[in-house]
Structure 1
Amino acid sequence: MWGALTIYVVVQLARRLGGGPWAQALAGVCYLSTAYGRVNLLFQPNAFEIFSFTLATYLLVRHAQPAGRPRHLYALGIVLGLGVLNKYTTFFFGAAVVGALLLTAPRTFGRRPVWLAAGLALLVASPTLLWQVAHGLPFRHHMALLHDQQLVNVTPGNFWKEQVLMNLPALLVWVPGLWAALRGRPAHEARAAGLLYVGGMLILNVLHGKAYYGLGYYPALFAVGAVWWQARLAARPRLRVALRVALLVLPLALLAPLLVVIYPILQPTQMVQLNQKPFYKKLALNRWEDGQLHPLPQDFADMQGWHELADKVWLAYRALPDSTRARTLIKCDDYGQAGAINYYNRGRNMPAATSFNGSYLHWFPAPPPRPWRHLLLVGEGHPSELVPYFEHLEKVGEITNPYARERGETIYLGTGPSPALLARVQAERQQELAAWEGGLN
């Protein structure tokens, strides 16, 4: 849905900049042939992020046009507020918006509409902002974890290589589009799209942002580039028809060999074999956050083993005595495991899996009136240390899928946990809360 709406906004932006049906079609083809299809098939916040950034760019361009009105700034504020509710990378985009306005229309900051728009953005984003303040700004801890565990492996070289790869089929459109936008072509208001790109990418490079953080800055350039090509071809009537067809077909032709790695068309075994071929090896689309190459792309490897894990936890739970089954705590090492177990076991009568990781930390169940009788521990890294705390501790399963990112993660069943262990569970949760919430708990 967000992908379809993004295409609509891209096409409308091309139209607003003077693009005819061909330019509008070219802008839409550029979106369809690049990395956005991959993003939109994953249930992640990035699809809305790209849509909100594209819509915000459209509104900024509309405000800069002669027919621009304060309502475009007000709508921009609402979109930015919704973007913050979705993902905090909107703050980086918002900083780029401020920079673009300062360079293109500095007098805007002396007028009331821009401050009302900022107030609307804060009002819409207030639920998450107030929650952050009330809980000691957990965002700081999240950013520290990202910096130490994931962003540390991001290099400028790999960042820009991935920018080109993700948008390679539309290279002949967005590169001229960027150049044209920075020069105020095909209209002076297009500069906003170019300045947003430069400002946003500069921020992401300084902060070692992941490559896909930049995807929201390109769709507007597809529109600008398409209109730029329309103007160039208008002066070459003899070549116009052939070049128009070529520009529409080329992105789709370049997409063709990438379809099998962008979309989950192949079985994992086939994808592993494909990634061994020289062409796909050079693309390095299976490079993970650790900076290393792996058999499968990370987001596909993440999904492998989910069904297996959920089924094995369910079977372990069903094997427990009826009289004590309800007094079972399912604790996972990370939110991905807990989410997979809960999703694939929906409709089955079993307790929800939980974790100290991510938002699950805030949903951890309170101690029941009668102490837990069984603990199902998923991904426990030091089971031998826990043996003295249980009447009985045994391994009841593990992820065996050879292509799973979490292959080898174990499932342990502990029966009769000691009061000391249950107290330790609560103490560890409080420690995690304190780390996230700045010591408030």
Structure 2
Amino acid sequence: MKRFLPLAFALVKFVSGYFLMSGAYELHRDEYLYLNQGRHLAWGYLEVPPLIAAQGWATLALGGHEGWVHFWPFLWGAATVYLVVRLAGRLGGGWFAQALAGTCYLGTAFARLNLLFQPNSFEVFGFMLGLYAFVRYVQEPRPRYLYLLGGALGLGLLNKYTTLFFIAALGGALLLTPSRRLLLNRHFWGAAGLALLLWLPNLVWQVRHGIPFLHHMALLKETQLVHVEAADFWKAQLVMCFAAVWVWAPGLGALLLGPAFRPYRVVGWVAVLGVGLLAVLHGKDYYALGYYPVLFAFGAVWWEKLLQPFRWKTALEPVLVALPLFFLAVLVPLIYPVRSPAAMAALRARYAPLGVYRWEDGQEHALPQDYADMLGWREMADKTWAAYQSLPDSVRANTLVQCANYGQASALNYYNRHRPMPLANSLNGSFLFWYPPVQACRAIIIVDDEPDDELAPHFASYRRFGSVLNPYARERGTHITVGLAPDQALRNRVQREWRTELAAWEGAAK
């Protein structure tokens, strides 16, 4: 049973994902970016470390089908729930504790998190793997568990820089507990060396490029993190795992205060310090998700021990196991894109009070923003391809496809990957590294949601070719414009903008 249940939950988590996504939706704008990074393998990017780009490369090597794109978040979600259920068993939990820990994971925010090809799924897995390794070391002080912890942290740093906060929380937790004696263990420092060795290529890349991570954080703080209110952050901590709050909260309490889990007190402090650090730094609420799965395991074992003396536990246990899934069932349309855009728009009156139809602009829209971000991309790519085909044969080889943002450029490159046309480009994010020379450019196809018609005098011919018409797409109204024979002034302007933007990123530490 101790091996069967973890595998069963992992299988359910992996397979169910393929049945919980409607074909009416496309990929999310961020997913296109990570796939595009897979075309340009490097030890770093302006947005993220390189691990997800390696997954993007493998996806494209396998044909790039959407099923392969989804494979990665489904895999990391399955691996995480396996560790959660397995940990409950390692802590002495029987079928009830293991099953409850598993349904807590399936019925909370991870149901949504593990749908999208983003670094977040591996981040949660890496945190869980690291804490699982620590618990196993406490139970059996073998050096291999410390090196497993080091490997998890090293790969985590290659996946997302928020792992640095986790490491800080772990260090603080060790200092606050008797486990500080671990700092005198040579294998602990060997594990730290392993983590650093794994991260070193990306660290060197950051230094060589002027530490663009600093510019990225400055932009986040200016445009997004500045809007994160403390009250909203803490409210989200309750909401994201609300279906399991009755499990993870006692689990955290038992870790910090109870005698049964005293040897593992570091785990509780890691959660407290990690989430607290994010709150102080105005981090996004979902950055904290990686600290909860381990608490599901401890909380589930706590519940099993609590119910042990009661006669009616046999009847109550299945109900408690199913409870997180009941909450999930109520919110299925908001978590899984199983309903068509029109059907989701029809549900707006029911779910709008929850705020899920309100976008970053503060306005109510027909669909939740994430869903609207999964529409209109194929239409955009097809119309851009048609615009390219409309060009004279003599200029096609010297055409620049210029997009306003990374989502547009990445989506065009994904859907047009089998078509004989130039790659789309942008002056946004890591596309700055791949921007082509423009001096020989004889035509420009401009894809922009806010087109600048003042550019028209710089072309011999300038015409609007088409636009995205999908009424539910966030990119609705994005225009495809064709300009022939751009003048030298425009080419020089583009070149200057590229140099200025790249210098802003690479000069962040200077």
State the TM-score, normalizing by the size of structure 2.
0.82
CA distance in 1, matches of 2:125, 2:359: 25
What is the correspondence of 1:287-298 to structure 2 with a 5 Å cutoff?
Answer: 287-290=358-361, 293-298=364-369
What is the correspondence of 1:148-297 to structure 2 with a 5 Å cutoff?
Answer: 148-184=222-258, 186-236=260-310, 238-277=311-350, 280-290=351-361, 293-297=364-368
CA distance in 2, matches of 1:151, 1:8: 33
Asked whether the 8 Å contact 2:212–2:509 carries over to 1, the reply is: no
Change (3 A) 1:412 1:147: same
Q: Which amino acid aligns with 1:308?
A: E
What is the correspondence of 1:291-370 to structure 2 with a 5 Å cutoff?
Answer: 293-367=364-438
Asked whether the 8 Å contact 2:81–2:105 carries over to 1, the reply is: yes
CA distance in 2, matches of 1:151, 1:19: 40
- CA deviation digits over 1:248-269, x for unaligned, max 9? 1111111111111100011112
Change (3 A) 1:322 1:130: same
Corresponding residue for 2:5? none
- CA deviation digits over 1:193-245, x for unaligned, max 9? 22111111111111111111111111101100100001001121x22112201
Change (3 A) 1:221 1:184: same
Q: Which amino acid aligns with 1:121?
A: A
- Indicate the SS of the match to 1:412: strand
Change (3 A) 1:293 1:85: farther
Following superposition, the deviation at residue 83 of structure 1 comes to 0.7
- Indicate the SS of the match to 1:413: strand
Q: Which amino acid aligns with 1:46?
A: N
Identity rate of aligned residues, in percent?
Answer: 55
Q: Which amino acid aligns with 1:11?
A: V
Asked whether the 8 Å contact 1:153–1:291 carries over to 2, the reply is: no
Among candidates 87, 97, 117, match of residue 13 of structure 1: 87
Corresponding residue for 1:95? 168
Asked whether the 8 Å contact 1:391–1:416 carries over to 2, the reply is: yes
Change (3 A) 1:176 1:367: same
Among candidates 410, 414, 424, match of residue 483 of structure 2: 414
Q: Which amino acid aligns with 2:465?
A: V
State the TM-score, normalizing by the size of structure 1.
0.94
Asked whether the 8 Å contact 2:449–2:475 carries over to 1, the reply is: no
Q: How many residues align?
A: 435
Corresponding residue for 1:59? 133
Unaligned runs of 5+ in 1: none
CA distance in 2, matches of 1:135, 1:232: 55
Corresponding residue for 1:376? 445
Following superposition, the deviation at residue 367 of structure 1 comes to 4.2
Following superposition, the deviation at residue 114 of structure 1 comes to 2.3
Where relative contact order (Cα < 8 A, 6+ residues apart) is larger, the structure is 2
Following superposition, the deviation at residue 39 of structure 1 comes to 1.4
Q: Which amino acid aligns with 1:356?
A: L
Confirm whether residue 424 of structure 1 aligns to residue 493 of structure 2: yes
Asked whether the 8 Å contact 1:82–1:124 carries over to 2, the reply is: yes
CA distance in 1, matches of 2:207, 2:262: 41
Asked whether the 8 Å contact 1:184–1:191 carries over to 2, the reply is: no
Change (3 A) 1:57 1:50: same
Asked whether the 8 Å contact 1:332–1:380 carries over to 2, the reply is: no
Corresponding residue for 2:35? none
Asked whether the 8 Å contact 2:88–2:97 carries over to 1, the reply is: yes
Aligned-CA RMSD value: 1.8
Q: Which amino acid aligns with 2:389?
A: R
Following superposition, the deviation at residue 293 of structure 1 comes to 4.6
Change (3 A) 1:108 1:353: same
